[in-house]
């Protein structure tokens, strides 16, 4: 196991990142906030939503296999029950870095999905948000990182 900060740095060192669960209505979904922040910080970010052709003015793909060029890492921003299918897809596609988004509440974390990913050699971050670390962080997210670290919603080690 590695410290969370190191796992986050490793994840954010990848420049082509897919975000699942990005919505056509950006005001209501945390995945959109992650998507926007990664894009603003210069990442080559890819939207994944099986019910949208475009999101945030960008092309959107129904699943990871449909993305024309491979992605290096994935942020899961869907319901936990969807995370397992996404984790299987990551394994099948050789994507080795997966972050299951979590702020307050359960977020996108699925223990079954995390276990499957780890069994297949993936680095799985089960909680927190990429916007809490490194070049994507802001003051509000840093404060949430501290607070959610106390509640266990941001793991100490991955």
Which range among 17-31, 96-110, 115-129, 142-156 has the greatest average pLDDT?
115-129
SS3 118: helix
Q: What percentage of the chain carries pLDDT values higher than 70?
A: 97
Q: Decide: 106 and 82 in contact? Cβ < 8 Å.
A: no
C-alpha to C-alpha distance for 19 and 49, rounded to whole angstroms: 9
- Number of structural domains (the chain) is 1
130 close to 99: Cβ distance less than 8 angstroms: yes
Tokens of 68: 């024309």
Residue 13 has pLDDT above 70, yes or no: yes
Whole-number pLDDT of residue 29:
67
pTM, 2 dp: 0.95
In a domain, 158, yes or no: no
CB 101, CB 76: distance < 8 Å: yes
pLDDT at residue 84 greater than cutoff 70: yes
Which residue range(s) make up the domain with 79? 4-151
Neighbours of 74 (CB within 10 A): 27
Whether the predicted pLDDT of 27 surpasses 70: no
Q: Is residue 62 part of a domain?
A: yes
pLDDT mean over 50-74: 95
Q: What is the CATH number of the domain that holds 132?
A: 3.40.50.720
The answer to the question of residue 156 being in a domain is: no
**What's the pLDDT at 69?**
92
The tokens 């950006």 sit on which residue? 26
């Amino acid at each position: 196991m590695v410290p969370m900060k190191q796992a986050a740095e490793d994840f954010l060192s990848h420049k082509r990142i897919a975000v699942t669960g990005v919505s056509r209505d950006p005001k209501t979904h945390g995945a959109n906030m992650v998507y926007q922040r990664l894009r603003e910080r210069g990442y080559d970010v890819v939207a994944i939503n099986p019910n949208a052709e475009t999101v945030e003015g960008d092309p959107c793909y129904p699943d990871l296999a449909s993305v024309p060029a491979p992605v290096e890492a994935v942020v899961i921003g869907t319901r936990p029950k969807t995370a397992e299918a996404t984790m299987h897809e990551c394994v099948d596609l050789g994507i080795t870095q997966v972050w299951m988004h979590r702020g307050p509440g359960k977020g996108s974390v699925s223990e079954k999905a995390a276990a499957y990913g780890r069994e297949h050699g993936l680095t799985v971050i089960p909680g927190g948000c990429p916007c809490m670390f490194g070049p994507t962080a802001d003051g509000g997210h840093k404060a949430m990182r501290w607070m959610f670290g106390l509640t266990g919603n941001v793991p100490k080690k991955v």
